Amino acid sequence: MELTPSMLLGAYCQGWFPMADDDGTIGWYDPDPRTIIPLDGFHVSRSLARRLRQEVFEVRCDTAFREVMLGCAAPAPGRETTWISDDLIEIYCDLHELGFAHSVETWRDGELVGGVYGVSVRGLFAGESMFSRRTDASKVALAHLVERLNERGYHLFDVQFTTDHLNRFGALEIPRAEYKDRLADALTCDVTFDS
């Protein structure tokens, strides 16, 4: 069965998201517990706050969506393969063209050095992946993403699974049932990622 933008959006609205297995097969996931970053509880460390004040990076939104996905899919030390297949890159780029997938990018001297991307449906933002080629580049992108989501009135920032990296920002595991309640609430919000 071919994955379509409407199928993907429908899955997000029900709490499911896709990941490609090693052979490229798309699997669907609805973990319990689910990990979110509370938008009113995003933790910025002193070092990240200092980095944000220094304005080392230029931050842009939606100017290099495909490149951010390719950065997230690229092999890295300790992670030779990722769940981001070529097919997923194409379908998320289709969602981006339709206005449902977005990137926040960090640039240095005209070069893309980090970013984060995800899917936006009403008051839900589902963070999918991030990458960094310079120290703190992805952290700065994430901080700007959270600021944008707060400014626009989003209710739910889904990050799917817990990692040590996300725990530094205040990630919280909640039961699937609670996630579904929060998701239903977020889907009633009339907010958009763009101003």
Q: Which residues of the chain have pLDDT under 50?
A: none
Residue 154 lies in a domain: yes
Round to whole Å and give the CA distance between 34 and 173. Answer: 5
Q: Do the beta carbons of residue 8 and residue 95 sit within 8 Å?
A: yes
Residue 195 lies in a domain: no
Residues of the domain holding 20: 5-186
Q: Do the beta carbons of residue 160 and residue 34 sit within 8 Å?
A: yes
Output the pLDDT for position 21. 84
The total number of structural domains in the chain stands at: 1
Q: Do the beta carbons of residue 57 and residue 114 sit within 8 Å?
A: yes
Write b or e for each residue in 20-29: b if 16 or more Cβ atoms lie within 10 A of its Cβ, otherwise e: beeeeeeeee
Round to whole Å and give the CA distance between 170 and 135. Answer: 20
pLDDT, tens digit, 9 for 90 and up, residues 53-108: 888 899 999 999 999 999 999 876 665 567 888 889 999 999 999 999 999 999 99
Is pTM, for the whole model, over 0.95? no
Task: Report the CATH number that the domain containing residue 167 is assigned in CATH.
Answer: 3.40.630.70
Output the pLDDT for position 121. 97
